[in-house]
């Protein structure tokens, strides 16, 4: 994590002097001793608690983030919003629907396949800022290809909408994510495999809607577990349906669906990525953790998490999947009143997939929750202040 080289104590001293406050008057306003202020400024005593940082910042009349030498609103937040606006503009083009001809040269099918593969890899490596840059142009290109040859370009359209929906879910752009998922479902109509692929993302988008569960189960029934590839799709749909059931508090249905998914996962094995699902036994175990968190069972979620990350399959999962799971694990630790371990897994995620923490609103929210805990470790407090979430 990048940071300002000036120690926080020296920054406090500089800001105090600039405000023309003596150590004693500064201490009086804080309700602290002069000795406490002197130790902070010399670096003998650290500022660890969010509440203390806020109090010091208030007296110094600066943003809390200024005490750590960082902007309260990181530039990446504005960049993300601009990128989402460009994606929205690309999705708002309806030339594909009307089959309008284009004067520009249409990209070849091979180029589209390569680009779709590239954006999926970018997503699975949790490089969301880069993906925000890539998607508007790709959406435009697949629209052109589909307008020229609706059948030849259909798979590229579905896959592009899928990854767009997946990214927008990460960025908490629910309405736009639903549009992308719905477009994927429409483009996939008539092809049971493509329809099942699109339905996986529909499940992600509509996690809070119980009405989406029958759609996912219908898509799963259409394909059946014929081979490992189909088993991966069916298993992923069952996992999404189970998480919807967990959100609704239906523990019995969760158990049934994840039980069947586990059987399919055993058939598929770990280390595969059929149809961009990364489905296997490890994925099912992580889904059990997420479901336990949704159902409010913190101890079970923690126990399953600690068992899952010790298995070989954990290392085979995409970076995005592992980082997203660690956010779920942080929630589980919070439910068991363990902010230390919650902070640990968040910092771990930040070390190998920073965009999952810094660009994903859900990640930022959990960092803020952990940082507010009285016993939160100093590093998570610093991260929260750097992100402008405290």
pTM as predicted: 0.83
Enter the tokens of residue 158: 């579905």
Percent of the chain residues past pLDDT 90, beyond the cut: 68
H helix or E strand, kind and range, residue 38:
helix 34-42
Band of pLDDT at residue 375, cut at 50, 70 and 90: confident
- Based on the number of CB atoms within 10 Å of its own CB, is 6 exposed (0-12), middle (13-18) or buried (19 or more)? exposed
Whether residue 2 is predicted with pLDDT greater than 50 in this model: the reply is: no
Band of pLDDT at residue 152, cut at 50, 70 and 90: confident
Band of pLDDT at residue 162, cut at 50, 70 and 90: very high
* Torsion, Cα of 372, 376, 377, 381 (10° steps): 0
For 108-112, 273-277, 310-314, 347-351, which range has the lowest pLDDT when averaged over its residues? 108-112
Specify the higher pLDDT residue, 17 or 187.
187
pLDDT tens digit sequence for 73-98? 556 667 778 889 999 999 987 655 44
Domains located in the chain, CATH noted: 8-68 (1.10.260.40), 73-205 (no CATH)
pLDDT tens digit sequence for 233-264? 999 999 999 999 999 999 999 999 999 999 99
Whether residue 55 is predicted with pLDDT greater than 80 in this model: the reply is: yes
Band of pLDDT at residue 383, cut at 50, 70 and 90: confident
Question: ∠221-227-232 over CA atoms, to 5°?
Answer: 65
Specify the higher pLDDT residue, 374 or 217.
217
Report long-range pairs for 35-44 (Cβ below 8 Å, ≥24 apart).
40/8, 40/9, 40/12, 41/9, 41/10, 41/12, 41/13, 41/16, 42/9, 43/7, 43/9, 43/10
pLDDT tens digit sequence for 184-235? 999 999 999 999 999 999 999 998 888 899 999 999 999 877 799 999 999 9
Specify the higher pLDDT residue, 279 or 81.
279
């Amino acid at each position: 994590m990048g940071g300002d080289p000036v120690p926080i104590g020296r920054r406090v001293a500089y800001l105090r002097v600039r405000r023309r406050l003596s150590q004693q008057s500064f201490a009086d306003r804080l309700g602290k001793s002069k000795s406490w202020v002197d130790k902070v400024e010399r670096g003998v005593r650290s500022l660890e608690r969010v509440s203390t940082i806020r109090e010091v910042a208030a007296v110094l009349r600066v943003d809390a983030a200024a005490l750590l030498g960082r902007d309260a609103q990181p530039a990446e937040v504005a960049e993300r919003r601009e990128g989402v606006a460009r994606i929205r503009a690309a999705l708002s083009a309806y030339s594909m629907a009307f089959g309008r001809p284009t004067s520009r040269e249409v990209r070849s099918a091979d180029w589209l396949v390569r680009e779709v593969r590239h954006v999926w890899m970018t997503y699975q490596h949790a490089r969301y800022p880069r993906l925000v840059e890539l998607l508007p142009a790709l959406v435009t290109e697949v629209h052109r290809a589909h307008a020229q040859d609706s059948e030849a370009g259909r798979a590229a359209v579905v896959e592009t909408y899928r990854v767009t929906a997946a990214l927008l879910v990460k960025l908490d752009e629910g309405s736009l994510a639903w549009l992308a998922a719905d477009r994927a479902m429409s483009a996939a109509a008539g092809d049971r495999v493509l329809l099942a692929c699109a339905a996986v993302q529909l499940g992600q988008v509509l996690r809070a809607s119980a009405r989406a569960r029958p759609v996912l189960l219908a898509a799963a029934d259409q394909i059946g577990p014929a081979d490992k590839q189909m088993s991966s799709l069916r298993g992923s749909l069952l996992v999404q349906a189970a998480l919807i059931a967990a959100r609704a508090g239906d523990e019995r249905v969760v158990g049934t669906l994840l039980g069947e998914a586990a059987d399919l996962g055993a058939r598929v094995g770990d280390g595969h990525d059929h149809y961009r699902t990364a489905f296997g036994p490890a994925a099912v175990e992580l889904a059990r953790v997420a479901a336990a968190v949704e159902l409010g069972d913190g101890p079970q979620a923690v126990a399953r998490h600690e068992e899952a990350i010790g298995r070989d399959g954990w290392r085979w999962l995409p970076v995005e999947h592992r980082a997203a799971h660690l956010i779920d694990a942080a929630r589980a630790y919070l439910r068991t009143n363990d902010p230390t371990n919650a902070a640990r897994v968040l910092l771990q995620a930040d070390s190998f997939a920073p965009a999952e923490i810094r660009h994903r609103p859900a990640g930022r929210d959990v960092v803020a929750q952990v940082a507010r805990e009285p016993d939160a470790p100093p590093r998570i407090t610093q991260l929260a202040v750097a992100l402008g979430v405290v």
